[in-house]
Amino acid sequence: PILSNQIAAGEVVERPASVVKELVENSIDAHSTQIDVNISDAGFKMIQVIDDGRGIDPKDLPLAFTRHATSKIIDRRDLFNVHSLGFRGEALPSIASVADVDLKTSNGTEGAEYHVRGGKLIDRKPAELRRGTSVSVSNLFFNTPARLKYMKTPATELSKITDAMNQIALGHPEISFTLVHNQRELLRTAGRNDQLQVIGGIYGASKAHKMLSFKGADLDFKINGYVSLPELTRANRNYVVVILNGRFVKNYSIVKAIVDGYKSKLMVGRYPIAVINIQTDPTLVDVNVHPTKQSVRISKEEQLCTLITNTIAERFLHQNL
Ligand code: ADP
Ligand code: MG
C-alpha cells in the first residue's frame, strides 16, 4: 500500500500548493469557521493547517490514513451528487506517503495525535486539544527525490500557494482564513461572508472600489459575483476565479464568457479581476474527472456561458463606460 500511495501522491500531491489545497479543503469539509495556514520555506520545510472544525474521531484516525477511505461518501450514488470538496479519500494517505505528517485532532471530547512518516505510523498518543484539527507536514518529498527535482524556485512555489489560498478564500467568504509565510502575514480574511472584503484583502482595499457586482439567473443556473472595471486588468487569467457550487474550478469557456461580457472594452490579451459564483443542481456537474478535482464537465455549458456574457454585458451597459 505504501507504493500505491506514492503513485497516487504523484497525482494528488504535485507540489507544496497541492498539499495546502487538500488540507484546507478537508478543513472546509469539517465545517471550520477559522482556518490558519502557516508555511515555512515555501512549504518545503513545513506546511501547517489548523482548523476549528468537527475533528476526527480517534477510532477513525487509522482509516483517515487509509487510501480510498473517506467519511464523505455513504453510497455509490453519492459520486454523482457531490457536495463536499473531498470524496476520494486519497489526500491524507498520499501526503503521508511522501512526507512527515503530524496530525492532532479532537472532536471536543476525545483527542489523538498521529505521526506518520513515509506511509508508516511512527507514533500515536492521546492528545488534548480544543475541538478541531491541526496537520503539520514537513520534509515533503523526502523519499521521492525525482519529484523534488521538478520543483520550481521557492518564490514560484510560494506564489502557487498564495494563488490557491486566494482562490479558496474567494470561494468561502464565510470562513476566516490566514496565511503566514516565514512569520509574514500574506492573507487575512474576516469570515463575514462578504466577497468584496475578501477581494480587498487579496488585492488591496483600493481595488475593491473598482469592482462591479452582478447577478443573473435562468432556469438552471444562478450566477453572481464581481468584475473589475475595464481599467483594472491583468495580463493572465489567474485572477478570474470561478466558483461552481462552492468549489474552485478551471473552465476556460466560463473565463471566455466573462471576457465576452466586456464587449471588446478590454484590451486584447488582458483579463479582468473577477469572481463568479455559479449555483446549479449538482447532478448537472461531473467533478469526477481528475484526482485534483479542478476540472469539471458541465451539462448545458453553452446555456451557462450565454447567461454569463449577457449578465455582464448588461451590467456594463448600465455603468455608462
Ligand atoms: P477525502 O477528503 O477525500 O474524504 P482525505 O484523504 O482528504 O479524503 O481525508 C480522509 C478523511 O479524514 C476525511 O474523509 C475526513 O473524514 C478526515 N479528515 C481529514 N482532514 C480532516 C479535518 N481537518 N477535519 C476533520 N476530518 C478530517
Ligand atoms: Mg480531502
Look at residue 76 in the predicted model and tell me its pLDDT.
44
φ, ψ of residue 188 in degrees (nearest 5): -145, 125
The secondary structure of 42-96 as a DSSP string is GGTSEEEEEE-S----GGGHHHHTSTT--SS-SSGGGGGS--SS--SS-HHHHHH
Look at residue 73 in the predicted model and tell me its pLDDT.
47
Residue 236: pLDDT band by 50, 70, 90 thresholds? confident
- Atom number in ligand 1 closest to CA 90: 6
Location of each CATH 3.30.230.10 domain in the chain: 210-317
C-alpha cell at 160: 502557487
Q: Which residues contact 102 (CB under 8 A, 6 or more apart)?
A: 113, 114, 115, 135, 136, 138
Q: For ligand 1, atom 19, name the residue with the nearest CA.
A: 26
Arithmetic mean of pLDDT, 78-106 = 77
Fold of 2-188: Heat Shock Protein 90 (3.30.565)
Q: For ligand 1, atom 8, name the residue with the nearest CA.
A: 89
Look at residue 302 in the predicted model and tell me its pLDDT.
96
Look at residue 103 in the predicted model and tell me its pLDDT.
97
Location of each CATH 3.30.565.10 domain in the chain: 2-188
CB of 89 sitting under 6 A from ligand 1: yes
What are 137-162's pLDDT values in tens digits? Answer: 999 999 998 888 888 899 999 999 99
* Alpha carbon of 86 to ligand 2 centroid (Å): 4
Look at residue 78 in the predicted model and tell me its pLDDT.
46
Q: Count H helices and E strands in the chain, helices first.
A: 10, 17
What are 218-228's pLDDT values in tens digits? Answer: 999 999 999 99
* Alpha carbon of 226 to ligand 1 centroid (Å): 32
| C-beta of residue 132 within 8 angstroms of C-beta of residue 105 | yes
Q: With both helix axes pointing from N to C terminus, report the angle between 252-261 and 301-317 in degrees, rounded to the nearest 10.
A: 30
Arithmetic mean of pLDDT, 284-293 = 66
Look at residue 224 in the predicted model and tell me its pLDDT.
96
- Atom number in ligand 1 closest to CA 85: 2
Neighbours of 192 (CB within 10 A): 11
Is the domain spanning 210-317 CATH 3.30.230.10? The answer is yes
- Atom number in ligand 1 closest to CA 88: 3
Q: What is the ipTM of this complex?
A: 0.98
What are 30-72's pLDDT values in tens digits? Answer: 999 999 999 999 999 999 999 999 999 998 898 888 876 566 5
